[in-house]
Amino acid sequence: MLKNKNTIILGARTGIGLETLKTFAKNKAIIHACIRKSDKNFNSICKELEKKYNTSISIITFDVNDETETKKKLGELLLKIPKIDVYVNTTALIEFSLFEMSTLNFAKKIFNTNFFSQIQIMQMILKKMKKLNNGSVINLSSSASLEKNIGTSVYASSKAALETLSQVISREVGRFNVRVNIVQPGLVDTEAMRKVHPKKFIDDQLQKYSLKKIANTKDVANLILFLASDNSSHITGQVIKINGGI
């Protein structure tokens, strides 16, 4: 589905990002995996995927909260490759706090990672996509923006802001045949999810879900694959929920 498509995956080292990397490799994409810091285990995974699926995976390390480093590393990548067909953003800082306990520094930290970093990154990538009149941008959000649970005021707001930004951008770049969509998962079975949510919260959430189960990373990666592929060529500006029926 993605043969010879140049793809950038941000946050590719773990969770949904890693599963998306594996899914894209299986579908013959040329992958540029962006991670915050070097990881020997991740390097080994990439080499195994390259060999197994006869594809190419390059690894770029930078911290999205470092504006200078991001501009330098991403800029070097964009100069080196002829085109960008797909950009997937799975990076997120997931921290919760009651509103009255949330400091301004806490809010800035969440928004810097989940929202403000994407302004610079998407501006750079969209410029390249527009020149070639083609591209698909997929931003990962969260059902927190939909559910508005206690303690999620800052995190949910950061994801709601990313959703709105993405939808506005979709209108601005649509005439260049560039699509921008948002994937909004509910609970997904990842290490990060189980780290921030106690078992009681997970059990309570499951009672709200029609399917009574947590999504796995493959469920989300397959949706991202669809939005990255030409099979979704007439879909843009959408917040696509994958939550088991809230």
Q: Is the distance from CB of 55 to CB of 25 less than 8 angstroms?
A: yes
The question of whether 155 is a catalytic residue gets the answer yes
Q: Is the distance from CB of 6 to CB of 82 less than 8 angstroms?
A: yes
Buried b (16+ CB within 10 A) or exposed e, 59-85: beebebeeeeebeebbeebbeeeeebb
Active-site residue, selected from the candidate residues 53, 87, 155, 209:
155
Q: Are strands 30-35 and 6-10 parallel, antiparallel or unpaired?
A: parallel
Q: Is the distance from CB of 205 to CB of 162 less than 8 angstroms?
A: no
Q: Which residues are catalytic?
A: 155
